[in-house]
Amino acid sequence: MDKQYITINYTNVHLCHNDRTILSDVCLQAHSGEMIYLTGQVGSGKSTLLSSMYGNTPIRKGHAIILDHDIQHIRRSSLQYLRRQIGIVHQELRLLSDRTIYENLDFVLRATDWDNKSLRRERIEEVLNWVELPDTGNCYPHELSGGQKQCICIARAILNHPELILADEPTGQLDMENGERVMALLDEVRRQTGCTVVISTHNLQWPDIFPGTQYVCENGELKKKTINQ
């Protein structure tokens, strides 16, 4: 992927929730292969900003481009296509509890038009190997630790070779050791595939350990803070 490709381009964007302005005049630009951190207090707008990139929070004013799509005026059919190019990692471990890990991953592939069963199996084995959990396919989510389940969520997020990964507090429920493992996986995805990774976090240690570009949500504004790479 072209390292100069702009995956996110927000110019003077206003984000609202229930007619209440959350963030004003947001300017943010991210290139392929870049790690972006969104930091700030709880309720400062980090999750709202991430949600807007996925098309869940409307853009009230400004100019917002995600992977060459005008997210403010995007059609429903184009939004579905865009979402297939984006991997999502939530703080909550949203795995289907009544299905095995293999079935959880297979569900995503079948929902995104992977009709060939052998290719689906090959891709699932590939991502499980990638997150170093090759023997978990027949396990149910409750049989895995919190750190393992979040690694599975990363495997799920990269199934469709996304150009952009949005991670909302991906280590919020994990201890330091497991959190660092999850962050290392996200950083490895970025370096290996050239995708952009955007992470909202309250843990200010991560930008020091895994350098990127930091934006701070504060007082209804987004302020850029550059970290030495």
What was the pLDDT predicted at 27?
96
Residues 1, 174: Cα–Cα separation, whole Å: 32
User: Beta strand pairing status for 20-31 and 221-226?
Assistant: unpaired
pTM of the model: 0.92
From the list 163, 175, 164, 165, the residue with the least C-alpha distance to 203 is 175
Instruction: State the pLDDT at residue 101.
Output: 97
Greatest Cα pair distance in the chain: 51
DSSP-derived secondary structure for 152-208: HHHHHHTTT--SEEEEESTTTTS-HHHHHHHHHHHHHHHHHH--EEEEE-S-TTHHH
pLDDT the model gives residue 227: 52
Q: Give me the tens of pLDDT residue by residue for the chain, a chain 229 residues long.
A: 555 799 999 999 999 888 788 999 999 999 999 999 999 998 899 999 999 999 999 888 999 999 999 999 999 889 989 999 999 998 777 899 999 999 999 999 999 999 999 999 999 999 999 999 999 999 999 999 999 999 999 999 999 999 999 999 999 889 999 999 999 999 999 999 999 999 999 999 999 999 999 999 999 999 998 654 4
Instruction: Write out the two tokens for 16.
Output: 């609202």
Q: In a 10 Å sphere around its CB, with 0-12 CB exposed, 13-18 middle and 19+ buried, how is residue 3 labelled? A: exposed
Cα–Cα distance, 111 to 106 (Å, whole number): 8
Exposure letters 23-37 (e unless 16+ CB within 10 A, then b): bbebbbebbbbbbbb
SS3 annotation, 181-195 = HHHHHHHHHHHHHCC
Query: By three-state DSSP, how is residue 217 classified?
Result: strand
Q: Give the distance, in angstroms, between the CA of residue 91 and the centroid of all CA atoms in the same chain.
A: 10
